[in-house]
Structure 1
Amino acid sequence: MGRIIFSTESGADLPKDLVAKHNIQVVPMHVIMDGKDYLDGELSVEEVFDYHHRTKKIPSTAATNEHEYHDLFTRIREEYPKSIIIHIGYTSKASASFQSALIAAESFTDIYLIDALNVTGGLGAVVMYAVQLLEENPTIETEELIEKVEAIVPKTRLAFIPGSLDFLRAGGRVSNIAYISGALLKIKPCIELKEGKLVSTKKYRGNMSTVAEKLFRDYLNEYNIDRQQLYLLFSIGLEESIKKRIDQIAIEEGFKNVKWMQAGAMISTHAGPGGFGIAGIER
């Protein structure tokens, strides 16, 4: 059996240390600002927020296209000629990215695609589950590995609160009426992935410090999350005191490993500054 290589999109927001350590191949999605198309990763999050501050405009985003996936898969095969490629992709219900990957994969053999039906830390959690499963069972058959990964896709839970309704509205995730009422009442919506779709499920009132803790406790009450691993998400601007409090709660709740993941430019165009989220896999 050839070496298994995992790939995913930049929208997984995987930290660079994990990408390098586990040789995960990441293909960038796109951020479009002032009519220029940037690859996610070549444009800093600070530039996105500064652009909004100066112009009151918010960049748009675009999926990875078929040619970029073809280049990705070709590059992997050139570097690892007998490899088996497993691509774990951004939810097909919120982006055309996965469909483009499917089209590109038709030109290759020994390539498998898994729709994670998730984004940012939720997608990252699925990728890291696959990576760890292979590292713990290096002789596992490809079909068994894929079956196990697909089985945890519906058990992967992501919930986040955007830092700014301005960014959420621009991304089409909240209506003008909801935006106005939310801004006036200082309401913060919770966004979750339901069957691959981004859905507003709850509404919280108060400052982010209060709301972040309430979201975390509600999340743990609703989902029986495996205490072995938890991913905590933030966009630039989230106060360090909030992160420390969430870390404290995670320890109290018995989580063995906690990893903070910063939203990249693409995800930040939807979350805005100071956003907070949680991703884990149910037992």
Structure 2
Amino acid sequence: MNRIILTTESGADLPLDWTKQHNIKVVPMHVIMDDKDYLDGQLQVEEIYKYYENTKKIPSTTATNVHEYEQFFREIKENNPNCTIIHIGYTSKASSSFHNAVIATEEMEGIHLLDALNVTGGLGAIVMFAANLLQENPNIEPKSLIDQINAIIPKSRLAFVPGSLDFLKAGGRVSNLAYLGGALLKIKPRIELIDGKLVSTKKYRGKMNSVTEKLMQDYLNQYDIDKSQLYLLYSIGLAKEIQDRMTNLAKENGFRSIEWIQAGAMISTHAGPGGFGIAALEK
């Protein structure tokens, strides 16, 4: 039987020890500051925040390009002859990365591309679902694994709030009027993935410690979440007291496994410092 290898983009924000444990191959996306291109994963998040503080500009981000995908997949194939690659990709509705992967693999065999329609922890939850299935049944047929991944994609739920509107404003993702009103009233938008698109679905008022609790309660009331696994997301700057409170709240709600994921450079460029999110799979 051909060996199955899972791949994804750095925008999944999977911790390095997870990818090593499950042999998940990760292709980097890009962050650009002052016309210098950095691979996501090789740039410290703090450098992005310093750059904004000094310039009041945020870096730009770009997708993995076609040539990079060609090299990425060919190297895996060369090192693992006869393997089957299942690539679980960053939502095609918010990046050209998945489309580039499609172009790169047009003449390659044994590569299956799945659009996760999700980002960061929502994408990561799908990848880890697949990794755990593969670990439990290493002889699983590729088609069976692909079918189960496709079935779970619509059940991956991600919701987050940025710690500050500054990055949204600087990146042109919120109008000056909305930014001013949000800043004065301490309003933070709840962002979700709806059909693969980032959508603001609700607004919370108050400090981050109360906003994070409201987000958690709303999330659990809205979705019938599988209590076996919960992923809590943060960008650098989120207070440890809030992280501890969210961990305790998750335990109080019966989650058996709770993992924290730090937003990498690419995601932090969009979300800014001190953000908080939740990702899990519905039953």
TM-score using structure 2 length: 0.98
SS at match of 2:109: coil
Aligned to 1:193: 193
- Asked whether the 8 Å contact 2:11–2:120 carries over to 1, the reply is yes
Instruction: Give 1:173 shift.
Output: 3.1
Specify the alignment match of 1:124 in structure 2: 124
Of 247-256 and 177-186, more deviation after overlay is shown by 177-186
State the alpha-carbon separation in 1 of the partners of residues 181 and 65 from structure 2.
37
Residue 149 in structure 1 maps to residue 149 in structure 2: yes
The answer to whether the 8 A contact 1:3-1:83 is kept is: yes
Deviation of 1:169 (Å): 2.6
Task: Confirm or deny that 1:102 pairs with 2:102.
Answer: yes
Work out whether residues 225 and 282 of structure 2, in 8 Å CA contact, stay in contact via their aligned partners in 1.
Answer: yes
Aligned residue in 2 for 1:236: 236
The aligned counterpart of 2:2 is 2
> Alignment partner of 1:108: what SS?
coil
Q: Which amino acid aligns with 1:53?
A: E
CA contact (8 A) 2:12 2:123 kept: yes
2:112 corresponds to which letter in structure 1? Answer: Y
What is the distance in 2 between the residues matched to 1:170 and 1:11?
Answer: 21
Residue 18 of structure 2 corresponds to residue 18 of structure 1: yes
Residue 8 of structure 1: SS of its match in structure 2?
strand
Q: Deviations over 1:161-193 (max 9, x none)?
A: 011212123344322222121111110000000
Separation in 2, partners of 1:159, 1:252: 20
Instruction: Give, in whole Å, the separation in 1 of the partners of 2:171 and 2:122.
Output: 19
Give me the whole-angstrom Cα distance separating, in 2, the residues matched to 1:169 and 1:118: 23
Query: Which deviates the most, 171-180 or 251-260?
Result: 171-180
Identify which range, 135-144 or 273-282, moves more after superposition.
135-144
Match of 2:263 in 1: 263
Alignment of 1:68-87 (within 5 A): 68-87=68-87
Confirm or deny: 8 A CA contact 1:225 1:282 kept in the other structure.
yes
- The amino acid across from 1:10 in the alignment is S
Distance in 2 separating the partners of 1:175 and 1:147: 41
TM-score with structure 1 length normalisation? 0.98
How far is 1:55 from its partner?
A: 1.1
Aligned counterparts of 2:115 and 2:17: Cα–Cα separation in 1:
24
Residue of structure 2 equivalent to 1:114:
114
Q: Give the corresponding residue for 1:93.
A: 93
Match of 2:137 in 1: 137
SS at match of 2:61: strand
What secondary structure sits across from 1:191 in the alignment? strand
Secondary structure of residue in 2 paired with 1:128 = helix
Question: How far apart are the structure 2 equivalents of 1:26 and 1:95?
Answer: 16
CA RMSD of aligned residues (A): 0.9
In the alignment, the residues of structure 1 paired with residue 19 and residue 135 of structure 2 have an alpha-carbon distance, to the nearest angstrom, of 14
Total equivalences in the alignment? 283
Gapped regions of structure 2 (runs ≥ 5): none
Q: Distance in 1 between matches of 2:268 and 2:247?
A: 22
Percent identity between the two aligned chains: 66
The separation in 2 between residues aligned to 1:35 and 1:68, in whole angstroms, is: 19
> What is the alpha-carbon distance in structure 2 between the residues aligned to residue 171 and residue 96 of structure 1?
18
Structure 1 residue 139, shift from structure 2 partner: 2.2
Alpha-carbon separation, structure 1, partners of 2:49 and 2:177: 24
The equivalences for 1:51-66 within 5 A come to: 51-66=51-66
Which secondary structure does the structure 2 equivalent of 1:113 belong to? strand
2:73 is paired with a residue whose SS is helix
State whether residues 170 and 270 of structure 1, in contact with CA within 8 Å, keep that contact through their aligned partners in structure 2: no
The answer as to whether partners of 2:56 and 2:170 remain within 8 angstroms in 1 is no
Aligned residue for 2:249, secondary structure, equals helix
> Would you say 1:227 and 2:227 are equivalent positions?
yes
Q: Does 1:49 align with 2:38?
A: no
**Shift of residue 104, structure 1, vs aligned partner:** 0.7
Q: Which moved more, 1:93-102 or 1:73-82?
A: 73-82
2:10 touches 2:26 (CA, 8 Å); kept in 1?
yes
Moved runs in structure 1, 4+ residues, more than 4 A? Answer: none
How much does 1:69 deviate?
Answer: 0.6
- 1:281 deviates by 0.4
Secondary structure at 1:236's aligned position in 2? coil
Hey, what does 1:214 align to over in structure 2?
214
Q: CA deviation at 1:77?
A: 0.6
